């Protein structure tokens, strides 16, 4: 009996949501505020579980609702709206983490061939505000232009490490070379790139 009531309530809730969506699609955009008010807490919960950083949650929640609103014309009314919204929130948070991840090498401090944290430059996320994106895009373009100045084997191994996010073992397997060769080559490549960054006075990305 309890399960039947639960399913009935879920069905009624979905009908209410879909009624709101129809009104929005018919031009009453103010109705979307009801969706935001109703589901904000749940969207916050989903995103917080994924990103684990409270400072980032508000912007991601706002962006999730923007994405949801823009996607409403494509909503399939045969699906439960709540599940559809939660999927958007979850997928967006996961995608955000994937894009945001900074793969870095350090240009400061003492280094050795076995240290994966030496000679750090940061490859920035493109998921930024327009002015932030343009600034970092310029720096990224400068860094990428410097990669072309490296020997082909140096450039290739840095691309695999930074842009492809491969670890040492994966690079060794990909290039069919010993692990020690990967570490030594990457160390020299990082050092050369660090020197070029200093030579051309390109700032490390924040």
Residues 116 and 25 in one domain: no
| Average pLDDT of the residues in 144-168 | 81
Last residue of a domain, one of 100, 131, 163: 100
Question: Domain containing 69 — which CATH number?
Answer: 1.10.1740.10
Residues 92 and 122 in one domain: no
Residues 79 and 134 in one domain: no
Residues 123 and 37 in one domain: no
SS3 state of residue 104 = strand
Residues 121 and 71 in one domain: no
Question: Domain containing 188 — which CATH number?
Answer: 1.10.10.10
Residues 89 and 43: beta-carbon distance below 8 Å: yes
CB hemisphere CA count around 178 (13 angstroms): 3
Residues 105 and 203 in one domain: yes
The structural domain count of the chain equals 2
Q: Is the pLDDT of residue 12 over 90?
A: no
Residues 87 and 117 in one domain: no
Residues 63 and 127: beta-carbon distance below 8 Å: no
Render pLDDT for 118-139 as a digit per residue (tens, 0 to 9). 333 444 444 444 444 444 456 5
Residues 198 and 107 in one domain: yes
pLDDT value, residue 116: 44
pLDDT value, residue 11: 80
For the entire predicted model, the pTM comes to 0.49
Last residue of a domain, one of 100, 118, 147: 100
Last residue of a domain, one of 46, 65, 100: 100
Render pLDDT for 43-99 as a digit per residue (tens, 0 to 9). 999 999 888 888 889 999 999 999 999 999 999 999 899 999 999 999 888 888 777
Residues 137 and 198 in one domain: yes
pLDDT value, residue 25: 95
The residue segments making up the domain with residue 49 are: 2-100
| Average pLDDT of the residues in 172-181 | 88
Residues 81 and 106 in one domain: no
Residues 106 and 80 in one domain: no
- Between CA 69 and CA 13 the distance in angstroms is 19
Query: What token pair was written down for 109?
Result: 């401090």
Residues 72 and 167 in one domain: no
């Amino acid at each position: 009996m309890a399960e039947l009531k639960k399913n009935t309530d879920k069905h009624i809730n979905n009908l209410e949501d879909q009624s709101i969506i129809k009104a929005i699609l018919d031009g009453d955009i103010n109705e979307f505020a009801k969706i935001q008010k109703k589901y904000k807490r749940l969207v916050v919960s989903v995103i917080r579980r994924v990103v684990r950083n409270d400072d980032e949650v508000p912007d991601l929640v706002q962006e999730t609702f923007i994405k949801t609103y823009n996607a409403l014309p494509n909503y399939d009314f045969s699906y439960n709206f709540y599940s559809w919204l939660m999927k958007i929130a979850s997928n967006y948070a996961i995608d955000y983490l994937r894009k945001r991840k900074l793969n870095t090498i350090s240009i400061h401090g003492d280094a050795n061939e076995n240290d994966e944290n030496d000679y750090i430059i940061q490859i920035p996320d493109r998921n930024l505000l327009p002015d932030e994106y343009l600034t970092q895009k310029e720096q990224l373009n400068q860094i990428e232009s410097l990669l072309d100045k490296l020997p082909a084997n140096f450039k290739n191994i840095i691309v695999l490490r930074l842009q492809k996010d491969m670890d040492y073992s994966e690079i060794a397997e990909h290039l069919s070379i010993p692990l020690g060769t990967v570490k030594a080559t990457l160390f020299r490549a990082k050092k050369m790139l660090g020197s070029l960054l200093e030579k051309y006075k390109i700032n490390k990305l924040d």
